[in-house]
Structure 1
Amino acid sequence: MSDRTKLVVVSAGLSVPSSTRLLADRLASAVVQRVPADVEVVELRDLAVEIAHNFTNGFPGRKLAAAIDSVTGADGLIVVTPVFSASYSGLFKSFFDVIDKDALTGKPVLIAATGGTARHSLVLEHALRPLFAHLRAVVAPTGVYAASEDWGAEGLPERIERAAGELAALMARLPAARPARDDLAVTPFEEQLAALRGSG
């Protein structure tokens, strides 16, 4: 068994290559420089048909089921979507719609997005952060938005580093928040009540 944590990257980019996947890879690289982690990338474009079928028949296909297991079993998530109509893509939203609403509770998540113009940078706060707050995930304070003009410019590398540091810190604290079952001693209420009566 590896003692390394598991970092799962969800990329909703549609083209090959895509700036969305590029940003996802840059973020993942920055995270694993801070916390040992095995990285798995989930490319949503490869799951589009199975996601659509899941909505119509209620059952995930083999690849979609594996992706859902990876995401729900991760110690940390990086989620990156291109911006469409000033929000996340429909494919991105559909994927998280087929995941059980409680499956991401307490999960550390770094949110990120790409777009053609800086005008859409508020998608992080107006769409992505509320979505993962609704799913009760723990969202890193810094989200990363990359417009076309940001690549190779000042500012983006610093945002990537800051966000990666925040996610790594959340992931590093995660094991301590999961007490081992052997450490938990639960006394049934009836036994507690009997003990109280006996001492009285």
Structure 2
Amino acid sequence: MKLLGISGTITGSKTKVVVDKLLAEVKCNHPEIEVELLDLKQYDVQFCDGRDPSTYTGDTKKVIDIVSSADFYIIGTPIFQGSITGALKNLFDLIPPQVFRNKVMGFVATGGTYQHYLVIENQLKPIAGYFRAFVAPGFVYAHNDHFNKANEIVDLDVLERISALSEEVVFMQKSLKAEKKEHQYN
């Protein structure tokens, strides 16, 4: 099983810190699970222009292939102007919807106000619903105050939510995989 963490921004670093921490938690507690980080900052992804995703080349094709090869996801975004980043929205537009169908998604967001956590409920979860993905009930929202000057997470509640979300997505993925296997043999 492969868990892909997505840092859905081309600016800043806090979102990547939280996604990395969550992936490290999964790797520590479930070493049998392969984890990978997709940091959009590291790729030059083209804007989606409506063409068949298989016709993209270069970094855009690499990113589509990385996302398509994962079994489940941790998707992170900073909240800018009360919304997800354009980079993450573009990624969602590039990926064929069937790639996410019946796969588990957990969400992480970072932001500068305490109300921005609502973007997870009002934007990310409906997008997952459109994809027919399974959404972990918990999520992690980290405010700028939850980090120290070295960009390390210092808030104990946030660290507990990271741990809880890591277990939720793994539990859901393993349960779905076992259920699917059971139906194949019946």
Report the TM-score, using the length of structure 2 for normalisation: 0.85
Which 5+ residue runs of structure 2 have no aligned equivalent? 148-153
Q: Could you say if the C-alpha distance between residues 56 and 172 of structure 1 is closer, same or farther in structure 2, counting changes exceeding 3 Å? A: closer
- Deviation at 1:169? 0.3
Pick from 159, 162, 172 the counterpart of residue 170 of structure 1: 172
Change (3 A) 1:33 1:172: farther
Alpha carbons 1:51, 1:98 under 8 Å: kept: no
In structure 2, the residue corresponding to 1:106 is in which secondary structure?
Answer: coil
Distance 1:180 1:119 in 2: 42
Does the CA contact (< 8 Å) of 2:19 and 2:74 recur in 1? yes
The answer as to 2:104 corresponding to 1:108 is: yes
Conserved 8 A contact 1:144-1:159 = yes
Q: Which residue of 1 aligns with 2:89?
A: 93
For 1:127 and 1:92, locate their aligned partners in 2 and report how far apart those are by CA, in whole Å.
12
Match of 2:150 in 1: none
Q: Over aligned residues, Cα RMSD in angstroms? A: 2.2
The one-character-per-residue Cα deviations of 1:159-199 (angstroms, maximum 9, x if unpaired) are 11111110010122243233399847xxxxxxxxxxxxxxx
Equivalent residue number for residue 33 of structure 1? 28
What's the CA shift for 1:129? 0.9
Structure 1 position 33, deviation (Å): 2.8
State the distance in 1 between where 2:3 and 2:162 align: 16
Question: Could you list the per-position Cα deviations for residues 98-146 of structure 1 after superposition, in whole angstroms to 9, with x for gaps in the alignment?
Answer: 1112221111111111111212111110111111111111110001110
Do the aligned partners of residues 143 and 169 (structure 1) sit closer, same or farther apart at CA in structure 2, a change above 3 Å counting?
same
Q: Which runs of 4+ in 1 moved over 6 A?
A: none
Gaps of 5+ in 1: 185-200
Percentage identity across paired residues of the two chains:
29
Please name the residue that 1:78 is paired with: 74
Quick check: which has more Rg, 1 or 2? 1
- On the 8 A contact 2:9/2:87 being kept in 1, the answer is no
Distance 2:184 2:161 in 1: 41
The structure 2 residue matched to 1:9, chosen from 5, 11, 25, is 5
Which residue of structure 1 aligns with residue 151 of structure 2? none
Displacement of 1:7: 1.1
Q: How many residues are paired up?
A: 177
Is contact 1:13–1:19 with CA below 8 Å preserved after alignment? Answer: no
